[in-house]
Amino acid sequence: MPSSVRAGSLKDPEVAELFCREDPEKFFTDLREIGHGSFGAVYFAHDIRTNEVVAIKKMSYSGKQSNEKWQDIIKEVKFLQKLRHPNTVEYRGCYLREHTAWVCVCVCAQCLTYILFHKKPLQEVEIAAITHGALQGLVYLHSHNMIHRDVKAGNILLTEPGQVKLGDFGSASIVAPANSFVGTPYWMAPEVILAMDEGQYDGKVDVWSLGITCIELAERKPPLFNMNAMSALYHIAQNESPVLQSDYFRNFVDSCLQKIAQDRPTSDVLLKHHFLCRERPMTVVMDLIARTKDAVRELDNLQYRKMKKILFHEAHNGPAPEGGDEEEDVEQYMLRTGTVNSMESSHSLPSMSISASSQSSSVNSLADGSDDSGEMAMMQEGEHTVTSNSSVLHKPLVSLKPEVDSQREASSAGGGGGGGGGGRRRRGRDHFATIRTASLVTRQIQEHEQGSALREQMSGYKRMRRQHQKQLMALENKLKGEMDEHQLRLDKELENQRNSFSMEAEKLSKKHQAILEKETKAVLTEEKKFQQHILGQQKKELTTLLESQKRQYRQRKEQLKEELNENQSTPKREKQEWLVHQKECLQQLQAEEEANLLRRQRQYYELQCRQYKRKMLLGRHNLEQDLLREDLNKKQTLKDLECAMLLRHHESTQELEFRQLGLVQRTRAELIRTQHQTELTNQMEYNKRREQELRQKHAMEVRQQPKSLKSKELQIKRQFQDTCKIQTRQYKALRNHLLENTPKSDHKAVLKRLKDEQTRKLAILAEQYDHSINDMLSTQALRLDETQEAEYKVLRMQLQQELELLNAYQSKIKIHTDTQHEREVKDLEQRVSIRRALLEQRIEEEMLSLQNERSERIRTLLERQASEIEAFDSESLRLGFSNMALTGIPSESLAMLPPPPPAPPTISGPSSSSSSSSSSQGGIYGGSGLGVRGAPSLMALKHSPQPLRRTASGGGPGGAGGSDGVLSRSTSVTSHISNGSHLSYS
């Protein structure tokens, strides 16, 4: 539930279902205060619905820090609702009334603290029985990931049948592990004291507290109990664990008090310890309770008899009071039933708990019942019980009037039902068991009132630790959010860059595809133009040849005719036949010459087309190489930019991490300095307060020295006699009034209750009388000044030792903090170094993968181009073209071609001329096909830093578009790839 919600608000359904909506005053009657602490007060009450005796802890959530108090109440109620175990108290509900929460639990047990009423320590068998029951409750809590965090004798309860129960869950934690500064100083585990400095703790802190409780039961007080509570904290955190007596017991306690939490056994493991598994009587706890009750009853009876003596001493001054026989009868009845009235209250000081509800732990008194269950003296039914009343006398003169109404209400409530039922209800209300004497209760009340300064100091120290923890957690959460935001921003930047690079790569791929398509179309167009150009030239050459042949034919024909005309002797017929023969020979020669020209033209055309196609194929290969080089260079450039960004992100994150770590460490150091200053201030205030109290005590001792001990004693005695007379008259009046208004069948019970009340008040007066006499006698020391000086020196020495202990503790904490900071810096440096190494390894792997991809794509392209060249050359060989011819011959070499076969001498002139003309014509387009087209398509290759070359099958250096721009599978390519270098792209 958010802290901003108003305290006491039930708008949240989850919170509303934790509380009962009814008015608690309608269900609970006869409220009697049985305990009081900084959290509030604990009351004994009677539940009219179930006719049960319950204990109610009232906790106010108004005033300062109301929201925190409300949250602590909610946490405690949630914790109590989860408890379902024989060794824990039974929760009955929580009610709200006038900004006060009434937490109700079943009353069936005695606080173990008051077992220590015995002057002798408990026996080991009794300690084993109590520890075994408490440990079973801890096992239940720890198995459900809960931590008690305030285990001590004051929070362990004993039932009449001998059952052990755990109480006071105001300091408990619902989750484990935890890191709050919670508990009672003398019982607190070292890891709890250092929780904010060293991290979290788990249920093993309860094991430590249980070990301290064992020492408390064995020695009647915990270790370091004579020391200031704050000093005890410093001592526990830096010194060795205390030790104990017998082997099994000492081994058990040593196991509980392992300084290192990891070496400390868990609660379920301790259940199997031989100290707890030894045979013992089943009635150990019941015998202990009975023995304690007998001792308490004997002490209260002793105080009662003292006051009776004072009353009887005044009896000779006047007649015996009316109804004396009835009083004696009542007294004999009370003595026979073994019932003695005793006041019930408790002294408590706040525990050092982060939660407000855990302010219920004692820090300064052995007999502290500071918890909700430990403060409750539980109700026992049956005979031999000790009843309690909540009225407390704070002054020697006390009036009984204010209690008349409550007695009347109790009487009317008891008589409202039938005879049997009413008796049982009265029995249930009045037989509220406690094992605390009236003197103990009175002393606790006085110490509780005097310990407000210490409680306030502890409360302030607790708030400071809580604020420091919240401040540090808030800072860590803020820095974590900042780091998450930073990481998100870097991831987004990297993702945007990758998307941009992907779009660039896709755009480049489309561009290359368009270039290839455009180049393919251009090649086809150029090839058609080239073929048409050759065909045009050949047609022109053929036309020239035909015209030349016609001229030669006419000239030869005229020449033949002239020769025939000169030769008149030859017959005309012969002349005619010879002329026809010569014409046929000439026509045959011309036909052969024409056929040879056509054959040469066809061969030249096919050669030139084949050569052109090969050069265009090589040009396309060069273009593919250029495009591949550009693509690979682009990928390499993008990968370099991405790696540079990753390294920049790493540096940025590293800088932020070190800055945040420095901020956290500076904040932690500042908080520790503040804490140490507060601890030192508290210690100095404590020292001043102790010295001031000692000076006040000494001054009071000086002022209280009477001139005459006898007159002072008589004065005190007379004052108490007057008080006793007043109380006796009030008792008679109240008795007569109640007997008149009560049925005769209930007279015995009324007389018993009134006698209990009178006995209780007389016991208080006896305690006060003894206290007055002792104070008067203590002022009569013969060497008062010397004694006071010695006390002052002892106190100064003790305070100096505590101050030195505090300084040593703070020095140890500072050294530990510095060591922790150095370790954190080294850990961060190691993490950053590992992350940098992993990043570099990742970059190297990506670069290697890119180089492998580069090599693979180059190899694939080379293999494909080589296979295309090889297939083209194989096809050319099949068509009858040599590789040398296909590689291209320079244009000037065409003149060296062999001339056509010479014509017969008769016609050699024209034929030679024609052949010469043909040869010269052929030289015009011998290399004109690629001179225009090949050069532009290979320009990109000339600008590359390391052009890739390849020698085609049968290829070599040649004309335009030759092997200068062709890929070569040479060692230079292999070394270029293996060295990881890349071609820069501009």
Q: Which positions are catalytic?
A: 150
SS (H, E, C) 750-770: HHHHHHHHHHHHHHHHHHHHH
CB 778 within 8 A of CB 705: no
Residue 712 annotated as part of some ligand binding site: no
From residue 543, give the alpha-carbon distance in Å to each of 596, 605, 923, 928: 14, 17, 18, 22
Which has the closest alpha carbon to 55: 67, 42, 65, 64? 42
944 token code pair: 């590359």
831 token code pair: 């993490």
From residue 22, give the alpha-carbon distance in Å to each of 19, 93, 756, 882, 971: 9, 11, 34, 114, 96
Distance CA 460, CA 837 (A): 49
Q: Residue holding tokens 């998100």?
A: 488
CA dihedral 524, 526, 528, 532 (to 10 degrees): -170
Distance of CA 894 to the CA centre of its chain: 88
Residue 158: phi and psi, rounded to 5, are -120, 135
Q: Which distant-in-sequence residues (6+ apart) come within 8 Å of 632 by Cβ?
A: 854, 857, 858, 982, 983
Helix axes 419-430, 404-415, angle to 10 degrees: 140
| Secondary structure of residue 111 in the 3-state scheme | strand
930 token code pair: 């690629």
Residue type, 7: A
CB 72 within 8 A of CB 357: yes
Distance CA 878, CA 201 (A): 89
351 token code pair: 């525990």
Which has the closest alpha carbon to 897: 927, 861, 923, 871? 923
Q: Say if residue 118 is exposed, middle or buried (CB neighbours under 10 Å; 0-12, 13-18, 19+).
A: middle
Residue type, 595: A
Q: Which distant-in-sequence residues (6+ apart) come within 8 Å of 302 by Cβ?
A: none
761 token code pair: 């008040």
Residue type, 297: R
Q: Which long-range contacts (CB under 8 A, 24 or more apart) does 773-780 make?
A: 773/713, 773/716, 775/704, 776/704, 776/706, 776/709, 776/712, 776/713, 776/716, 777/709, 778/701, 779/701, 779/702, 779/704, 779/705, 779/706, 780/705, 780/709
422 token code pair: 């009413």
Q: For residue 572, how many other CB atoms are within 10 A of its CB?
A: 9
Distance CA 11, CA 285 (A): 46
CA dihedral 27, 30, 35, 40 (to 10 degrees): 50
Strand partners, 159: 109
Which has the closest alpha carbon to 723: 364, 316, 335, 395? 395
CA dihedral 569, 574, 578, 583 (to 10 degrees): 120
SS (H, E, C) 230-241: HHHHHHHHHCCC
Positive or negative, the Cα torsion across 413, 414, 420, 425? positive
| Secondary structure of residue 29 in the 3-state scheme | strand
Q: Which residues are annotated as a binding site for ATP?
A: 58
Q: Which residues are annotated as a binding site?
A: 58
